[in-house]
Amino acid sequence: MTTIGTAFQVWLLLPCGVVMAATILWSFVPRRDNFTPPGPRLEAERQPRLFAELESLAKALNEPMPREVYLIPDVNAWVAERGGTMGIGSRRVMGLGLPLMQMLTVSQFRAVAGA
C-alpha cells in the first residue's frame, strides 16, 4: 500500500475513533431523572386504611415505606426509586392501579403489594 493510502486511512479512522470515544464517555455521564406523576397522588390522611396496610407490609418485609403513592389507570402495581443521581438522594414511589384495587380482596392486595 502506498504512503498516501495509509495516510488517508489514518485521517479517515482518526475522526471515527474520536467520535466513538466521545460517545462512550458521554454514555457514562449520569442523567437527571425527570419523574412525571402517573396519576393523582394518594394521601395518608384521606386513605388511612390503605396506608395502614402499606405500613404493615413495609414493616413485615423490612422495607422502607414509599414516600409517594399514586393511583394509576392500569391493572398494575409497582414500586420504583426515582430522582437523585445514581441512586443517591432518590425516593421510593409506588403506583397502584384502580382497576386492580377494585377487584382484589384485602388478602389478595397484601399478596400483590408484598410480592
Q: What is the CB neighbour count within 10 angstroms for residue 66?
A: 19
Query: Is residue 97 a part of any domain in this protein?
Result: yes
The answer on 16 and 72 residing in a single domain is no
pLDDT at 3: 64
- Given a contact cutoff of 8 angstroms between Cβ atoms, the answer to whether 110 and 53 are in contact is yes
Query: Is residue 1 a part of any domain in this protein?
Result: yes
Strand ranges (E), the chain: 41-42, 68-72, 77-82, 91-97
Query: Is residue 8 a part of any domain in this protein?
Result: yes
What is the domain count for the chain?
A: 2
pLDDT at 20: 92
Query: Is residue 35 a part of any domain in this protein?
Result: no
Whole-model pTM?
0.70
Query: Per-residue pLDDT tens for 61-73?
Result: 999 999 999 999 9
Residue span of the structural domain in which 48 resides: 41-113
Query: Per-residue pLDDT tens for 15-66?
Result: 888 899 999 999 988 777 778 899 999 999 999 999 999 999 999 999 999 9
CATH number of the domain that residue 65 is part of: 3.30.2010
The answer on 47 and 13 residing in a single domain is no
The answer on 47 and 9 residing in a single domain is no
